[in-house]
Amino acid sequence: MNDIPDFLCIGFFCHDVKGEGYLLGGTASYCSLAASRLGQHTAVLTSVGKDFLFFDTFQKEDIKVYNKPALKTTVFHNIYKEGIRTQYLYDRANTIEAKDIPEAWKKTPIVKFCLIANEVAPSLLTAFPNALKAATIQGWLRQWDTKGKISPKTMDWDLLNTIDIVLFSDADIPNIEKVLPIITNKVEIVVMTRGANGASVFYENKQYDFPAYPVQEVDPTGAGDVFAAAFVVAYGKQQNIALAASYAHTVASFIVEEEGAQFPSIEAIEARLIAYQKLFPETQKLAMNNAY
């Protein structure tokens, strides 16, 4: 834990109930795997129990994991009926705090907060003063009852005051039209995804819309998290919003084409990015705007 990663994810790895067993879940899982595949020296600060089943997944990718031990790993259960999802949180690991950060990791240039169950303590948000800080915020927008049934809640928007990039789905926040001005007033770059309908980036009091790359969708699982990781990686390299959005759509398009979030090669991504820019030349024009 003495080396400095390029890209640090903070949040729970979790188990997603599938039949009688578990699948790997959690925004930190998908984001870290995506960042690693995109060439970033990646690390994760998380909290899981001894029962966690998927450490080998991250070891194979050479992703460094610092775990704050918990009695049990976080468990989510998604139940779908007639297209409506009911979500349960059965177990929850320990809240992650600033004191849990390995010393060398405090110098990480890009930090991505990957919330799924309000696991990031406020102390963490100010612990990386020189980093580009991004957050996916769905874990701040959830509450759960004594049986673990999850329902929406309003978060403390002041938590975003130190964040540079916020990413969320239009389905994450009820009454998004009322809330969006609050978020854009606090955060320099706000990215709202709409699945197959593309994404909007709000920057300097303007809205920029970027269409999704058209593919046959088979399984959207993890696509939003991969989009977020790709956007932050690309923006961290080039500080270009249009190029970051185009790149993120390109990478995420591969994820939805088959089950299991099979990740493409860098060569395949680069080829499809060129195809994306030819298909949507207006995005290329935005990317070439030096003021952008």
Q: What is the pLDDT of residues 119-140, one digit of tens each?
A: 999 999 999 999 999 999 999 9
Task: Check residues 265 and 47 and name the one with the higher pLDDT.
Answer: 47
In the structure, what pLDDT confidence band is assigned to residue 183 with cuts at 50, 70 and 90? Answer: very high
Domain match, 153 and 181 both: no
- Token readout for 19 is 């039949």
Please name every residue paired with 153 in a beta bridge, in sequence order, or none if there are none: none
Domain match, 269 and 146 both: no
Return the HEC string of 46-71: ECCECCCCCHHHHHHCCCEEEECCEC
Domain match, 62 and 198 both: no
147 domain residue, yes or no:
yes
DSSP 8-state secondary structure symbol assigned to residue 196: G
Say what percent of the chain tops pLDDT 70.
Answer: 97
Q: Which domain holds residue 25?
A: 1-157
Q: What integer pLDDT is reported at residue 260 of this predicted model?
A: 57
Among the candidates 157, 190, 207, a domain finishes at: 157
Q: What integer pLDDT is reported at residue 171 of this predicted model?
A: 82
Instruction: State the pairing for strand pair 206-210/199-203.
Output: antiparallel
Q: How far apart are CA 93 and CA 30, in angstroms?
A: 18
Predicted confidence (pLDDT) per residue in 214-247, tens digit: 988 777 777 889 999 999 999 999 999 999 999 9
Domain match, 185 and 109 both: no
- Token readout for 84 is 């409506």
Please state the pTM of the whole predicted model: 0.93
Instruction: State the pairing for strand pair 7-10/14-18.
Output: unpaired
Predicted confidence (pLDDT) per residue in 61-89, tens digit: 999 999 999 999 999 998 887 767 799 99
Count of domains in the chain? 2
Please name every residue paired with 23 in a beta bridge, in sequence order, or none if there are none: 16
Among the candidates 157, 192, 210, a domain finishes at: 157
Closest-CA residue to 190 (of 175, 206, 177): 206
Q: What integer pLDDT is reported at residue 290 of this predicted model?
A: 47
Domain match, 70 and 179 both: no
Q: What integer pLDDT is reported at residue 84 of this predicted model?
A: 77
165 domain residue, yes or no:
no
Beta strands of 131-267 (E only): which ranges? 132-136, 142-144, 150-152, 165-169, 189-193, 199-203, 206-210
| 97 and 124 Cβ atoms separated by less than 8 Å | yes
167 domain residue, yes or no:
no
Q: Mean pLDDT across the chain, nearest whole number?
A: 91
Range 143-147 average pLDDT = 95
Q: What integer pLDDT is reported at residue 261 of this predicted model?
A: 56
Q: What is the CATH number of the domain that holds 208?
A: 3.40.1190.20
Count the residues in the chain: 292
Predicted confidence (pLDDT) per residue in 88-105, tens digit: 999 999 999 999 999 999
Task: Give the CB-side neighbour count of residue 239, counting CA atoms within 13 A.
Answer: 6
Predicted confidence (pLDDT) per residue in 266-292, tens digit: 999 999 999 999 999 888 777 777 444
Domain match, 188 and 125 both: no
169 domain residue, yes or no:
no
In the structure, what pLDDT confidence band is assigned to residue 11 with cuts at 50, 70 and 90? Answer: very high
220-to-229, 257, 261, 277 alpha-carbon distances in Å = 15, 8, 8, 22
